Amino acid sequence: MTTTTPPIDQAKLEAAIGRFLGDAGAMMTAVGVLTGDKLGLYKALADGGPQTSTQLAERTQTHERYIREWLATQAAAGYVTYDPATERFELPAEHVPLLADERNELNMCGIFAMGQPLFADEPRIAEAFKSGRGVGWHEHDPRLYGVTDRIFRNGYAAHLVADWLPALNGIEAKLRTGATVADVGCGYGSSTILMAKAYPMSTFVGYDYHEPSIAAAREAARREGLADRVRFEIASANSMPAGQFDLICYFDCVHDMGDPVGALASGRESLKNNGAIMIVEPYAGDALEQNLTPIGRIFYAASTMLCTPSGLAQGPGLALGAQAGEARTGEIARRAGFSDFRRAAETPFNIVYEARP
């Protein structure tokens, strides 16, 4: 049996070459973004205006020859502009929040940094492709955990207290007068600490099974002077005490769980009367074709290397993945015993759900 090769559309081929070259260039440029972020080069460009390589090197106490090549890379990528008449480079004002403002929710440096643990973990994930076994959150390159916190914490800082908690029915009033709150899958505790600082009458408990993350969270609470109202415990998502909490939060973690139904059912048992569950998940439509976007591309890539392996590593291995969507998330909540499930808020990067028994 012979097969014929479909004819090649030259225009489509050239477009594909351009697209793949752009992707390869972005991958190579990402290394330079890490360097610029680590050495404060973007901040120095933002603060100092147009500069030559010599001026930027002097400002940042770095070697001019390295800076000259780094700036050329950044100019070729379009991250900075170059004026050949003055030989000066400038970080456009529109790029400052993306590269130089580490507290801005639009800052992209953390996403670029995610390439380090993903590439480091690729051999392990490739083997899992063949075996079908999961790869637990704790099994990844140790750089993953700090990078993950960096990616999410600015978005939480921008929206959690200002938008998301007020969108839950009656919850903010409880927080202001004194509520008990659990933060499941708390990681480094950034979300827990944000809530604790905003609501000084309430008490907070962060749960995570990853011991190094809990150690980092405890240290963060100590630095903030919150140890009297915030504690962090090493625990799985389904081991919380019954009837203890007015609010239980799941920030970007339900889709990582092998048994999200069991975890949410445990959360339901841990609620007080009139308590609520808040589930924050990556923004996603219910159909694959709805998520074929630049943001969906990033979420699917992270899900392939991190979220799906995590779900497969825990029984029963449901592995929702990072683009589960509202319908699937609602189905999980209803199977866990919640009769009231709704979309409470959203951003371009997250959907916030409220669930009640």
Q: Where are the domains of the chain?
A: 10-102, 114-356
pLDDT for position 343: 98
Question: What confidence tier does 4 reach under pLDDT thresholds 50, 70, 90?
Answer: confident
Second-level CATH architecture of 10-102: Orthogonal Bundle (1.10)
Q: What is the reported pLDDT for 239?
A: 87
Centroid of chain to Cα 232: 20
Determine the average pLDDT of the residues in 127-134: 97
Write out the H or E segment, with its range, that includes residue 272.
strand 271-282
Q: Read off the pTM.
A: 0.94
pLDDT (0 to 100) of residue 1: 57
pLDDT category of residue 6 using cuts at 50, 70 and 90: confident
In this structure, which topology does domain 114-356 adopt according to CATH? Rossmann fold (3.40.50)
pLDDT average, residue stretch 204-210: 97
Q: Which residue has the higher pLDDT, 6 or 124?
A: 124
pLDDT at site 12: 95
Q: Which tens digit of pLDDT belongs to each residue from 233-243?
A: 999 998 889 99
What would the pLDDT profile of 284-327 be if each residue is shown by its tens digit? 999 999 999 999 999 999 999 999 999 999 999 999 999 999 99
Cα-atom radius of gyration of the chain, to the nearest Å?
A: 23
CA 186 to chain centre: 12
Bridge partners (DSSP) listed for residue 182: 205, 248
Which residues pair with residue 180 across a beta bridge?
Answer: 203
Please report the pLDDT score of residue 176 as a whole number: 98
